[in-house]
Structure 1
């Protein structure tokens, strides 16, 4: 065997193997979103205006923001009174840790990587400051004044692929907290920035429980603002995850609905024929927020930790048609700011498109789904649903049935009187 002819191939392959990381990092927390999740809405995962971090840096449509980001860096240096050289050295010292946060190898040299991280980190901190404190805004600021790009920047900053590790933001911010933000923490500034997009009231104790060293990036931070369900995830054993009847089917079977907990979106309860669901608001901001939270859970979390996945998987079972959305709206369980039941239905479907949960060992809402199915499948409830579906599904059908019953009743009375009259005539004879 002539091995000499293979030397070039061996050298080439050796170089590839040598370039690999010694070992994959357990610190990975920033991921590419899988194609199976992207198919419903590519734009929900792809920044449209500004790149944050290395994954989307340099893309053609995002280049115009680079000048503004550098202006924000200049302002940040002026606020902190720290030299550019000092900040570059700080980022360089943490480069290994920063790179390990990305699930894929970042194919950039050290200088380019550090430059991206520093510029983008300063930009993010400046956005938070200018959002919270109007006096931090500069004249002709392109984000907070004409052309008012905040509405475009907001979605990009909560996309999973468009993140910087939170620890580097906090590292640059914390030493200057007293002068930059009147003593407010980066956690507090982040909460103020994102809360209006989430349509939830975050309890003070929830916010206080979030520690900076436990937050890996903004998507993780937003997830932590949602309190955990008030019960542990339930092991399903060999049983399949039950798919619930729809809202329309449950309503026709006699189940009543009411607004539930004001503090925990996941505290859904079914007791004595009543399904209590905390109010949920959906808007044009919902898709980006929830799909990226779900993508993060799919990539980062164990089965028993995927409570946002599980909730919207459960909700998707309840909502199959615009009529189901209408029922949720009518019962004041859903605030549909999209203004259209068809759009609301499509949005809820898109949120879990591509999510694979059938193989999960744990499911937070297993018992709830099981109880709903047992109630629905009881004989008398099945009959009630059948009657409502086939005979009382519209006002006209109901009126026709009532008219028919009245007609039968009158016919019966007429028959009785006829028989009585006949008997009376026989008696006279």
Structure 2
């Protein structure tokens, strides 16, 4: 009777909490304070400024399709500088520098002197702190910049380039790799550095008034292949770098800024269904006539999408432009919006096959399944505001049309009874049979009533 029950037993360890006090030694405190006082290097303060335009691609993007962001044969700028795999082209950079100097009246000291005042401004353009000292950094800017300019000039005189012993022209695998490497986000130097060097060395291009922007777009036109009048529209632009120039050249006047916000109503934030679901609702897709694949339109149940050629270059360009828009402060989101739109359209290889059949996608990329996988990955880890994009109203209009029951009924009728010639013939035969049956009944019944 006097024994304690288990609930009444007291554990002396629970009578009070044991507090252990950990004291930091002086060295540890100094280490913490030093880290507080040390500015970030991997993602420096410059990355949050509008002046910063060249970024290391976020790991969340590289985990999905990292090969699209990494240069393969040449390093431009500090992020991949001095890596062993680029040694072959590093040697050719100095050869091109010598050829550029030999073809102009400009000396190497003059080139270095012209770019030297820009070094501090250039450092502000990179998202990471540049560890190279000013002299090494200056040399890299001049060598890389002069290589790009001399390459563009040689390509503009392609026949003369082919007649020389230049392996970049004679070996067919090098030139396509350069086309891809020179537009990668991590592989850039600021355009104002290129412009400074071009103004000093442009030589014969002064007489023909070829701007650096035009010369650059003509270089990439070997693979994009757009009309000359389109290229000349951007002759006076001053982009951040070559990737930004390419990106800007697709943002045409057709992409009406008024589409960003409707004056009569605010976009409700809906996205579009997949191709298969759109077809079930009677929405058709057909190729548009614009030179820019971004210029998508919707009217009276038809989505017009300009043709896009899916290949290694375009897939890399799309991925790098999306990464650039995601990193650059206050940048417009045209490529991010386009990537989100086609990601909504395409769920399966069948959706890609339909777009290929409609001449909207020209496939040099691989199988339909590979294109579907790439496009679905393109939208991963991307921040996107459907209310503030150039297709906001199109998203809403397509969604509203798709949800209209009348359109769904008509489309269902069409696909059920008129999808093939045989089903159409069957429906016609059934209608004729029904009419004949009614007529036979009338001829049988009417004489009876007359009697």
Would you say same fold, with TM above 0.5? yes
Q: 1:403 to 1:194 in 2, by over 3 A?
A: same
Q: 1:393 to 1:5 in 2, by over 3 A?
A: farther
Supply the distance in 1 between the matched residues of 2:405 and 2:102 (Cα, whole angstroms).
Answer: 73
1:127 to 151, 158, 164: 151
Q: Is the CA contact (8 Å cut-off) linking 1:260 and 1:278 kept in structure 2? A: yes
Q: Is the CA contact (8 Å cut-off) linking 1:79 and 1:180 kept in structure 2? A: no
Aligned length in residues: 420
Supply the distance in 2 between the matched residues of 1:281 and 1:167 (Cα, whole angstroms).
Answer: 31
Instruction: Please state if 1:103 is matched with 2:127.
Output: yes
Unmatched segments (≥5 aa) in structure 2 = 1-22
Q: Is the CA contact (8 Å cut-off) linking 2:270 and 2:395 kept in structure 1? A: yes
Q: C-alpha offsets along residues 181-235 of structure 1, whole Å, 9 cap, x if unaligned?
A: 754221121011012333544644x6344535x2110011001111151243534
Q: Secondary structure at the match of 2:362?
A: strand
Moved more, 180-189 or 107-116: 180-189
- Residue number in structure 2 paired with 1:350: 377
TM-score by length of 1: 0.83
Supply the distance in 2 between the matched residues of 1:351 and 1:20 (Cα, whole angstroms).
Answer: 29
Q: Is the CA contact (8 Å cut-off) linking 2:76 and 2:144 kept in structure 1? A: yes
- Residue number in structure 1 paired with 2:399: 373
Supply the distance in 1 between the matched residues of 2:28 and 2:219 (Cα, whole angstroms).
Answer: 55
2:348 to 304, 307, 321: 321
Q: C-alpha offsets along residues 120-145 of structure 1, whole Å, 9 cap, x if unaligned?
A: 11111111011111335673312111
- Residue number in structure 2 paired with 1:269: 297
Instruction: Please state if 1:17 is matched with 2:41.
Output: no
Q: Secondary structure at the match of 1:290?
A: helix
Moved more, 13-22 or 195-204: 13-22
Q: Secondary structure at the match of 2:178?
A: helix
Supply the distance in 2 between the matched residues of 1:15 and 1:403 (Cα, whole angstroms).
Answer: 80
Larger radius of gyration: 2
Supply the distance in 2 between the matched residues of 1:105 and 1:133 (Cα, whole angstroms).
Answer: 38
- Residue number in structure 1 paired with 2:15: none
Q: 1:243 to 1:59 in 2, by over 3 A?
A: same
Q: Secondary structure at the match of 1:140?
A: coil
- Residue number in structure 2 paired with 1:427: none
Q: Secondary structure at the match of 2:286?
A: strand
Supply the distance in 2 between the matched residues of 1:138 and 1:111 (Cα, whole angstroms).
Answer: 36
Q: Secondary structure at the match of 1:257?
A: strand
Q: Is the CA contact (8 Å cut-off) linking 2:417 and 2:427 kept in structure 1? A: no
> What displacement does 1:100 show?
0.9
- Residue number in structure 1 paired with 2:246: 222
- Residue number in structure 1 paired with 2:214: 188
